[in-house]
Amino acid sequence: MTRIAAVHGALPPHRHTQREVTDMVARTCLPPGADRRVLDRLHENARVRTRHTVLPLDGYRDLDGFGASNDVFIRSAVDLGAQAVRGALRAAGLRPTDVDLLMFTSVTGIAAPSVDARLVTRLGMRSDVKRLPVFGLGCVAGAAGTARLHDYLLGRPDDVAVLLSVELCSLTFQCHDASPANLVATALFGDGAAAVVALGGRRAVSGPEIMATRSRMYPDTEHVMGWDIGSTGFTVVLDPAVPDVVRRYLADDVREFLDEHGLKPKDIAHWVCHPGGPKVLETVTEVLDLPDGALDVTWRSLADVGNLSSSSVLHVLRDTIEQRRPEPGTPGLLLAMGPGFCCELVLLRW
């Protein structure tokens, strides 16, 4: 089976309190003299204390349109991505030339050549490394990308595969947009990156073992989450019905998936859950009947860095490995949801 040899997270240098971000959003998104009580309440209820951004807060007002924002995305994604991949390979005891597959995912910017292509020479990877850039999966991509590494390595058990996620959500915030969806996005999302190194079954390595995966698309939910893309860039689509979709579908999917492997939710020792936001996490806890503290690592990640889209669940995975130190042989479940609307489940054995 595939094993996860290392997970490494990277954050940009500019760190802000939630209050500092709220004040910036009030200056840039609300009309002059507008009542900001709704904004303040949304940001306070997000359960986020601090976040990181690729630019200083006063740098966003100088971005002139999508082109300028995307130029920052490309430059910063390459820098932050290189940091994440180097850290993960170092932790795994591997070199860039050992990598056989580099998968890159993001939903906060676009580039051709893709970010992974720009990293091959910079990191010193082999010229025959296989690359797979993925766009559009959004928050689910950290889990889905990990699952697709597993799919690849099942067929190539001698290989090394790397997933890189870079999400620079601050570059998608829309100035002069006081819509509820934009204000919620500015309350939750931050910038960050993460890299996962996974090894095929014929390579001896310690680390969590990927036992099985499950993908699930939900009918008639395309409108729930995503982007409208126009001249000003990425405008968030974020329907208040997201928790309702989670409540309707997630429990059955998780229970059926675990049942196929002789497990029940109460058997899962560690839940590695994407921090979609307070309402989503409360709904996950409710429908799965999770014990107190089951999502503590996820809540802590949300508070410390915000929602990093696809990078978030990988930060939670890293923190679980480093801080919770799961007992060998115990089962864990990595899960995330995102545009589609969809869910990805990855069954782990520590």
**Of the listed 139, 169, 273, 342, which one is catalytic?**
139
Q: Which residue has the tokens 């890189």?
A: 164
Taking Cα atoms as reference points, which of 342, 53, 306, 90 lies closest to residue 191? 53
Question: Does the annotation count 29 as an active-site position?
Answer: no
Cβ pair 51, 21 in contact under 8 A: yes
Taking Cα atoms as reference points, which of 200, 169, 189 lies closest to residue 3? 200
Strands (E), the chain: 2-10, 14-17, 50-53, 101-106, 130-135, 160-168, 191-199, 209-217, 225-230, 233-238, 270-273, 331-338, 342-349
Taking Cα atoms as reference points, which of 164, 175, 234, 185 lies closest to residue 51? 185
Q: What are phi and psi of 99, to 5 degrees?
A: -80, 130
Catalytic positions are 139
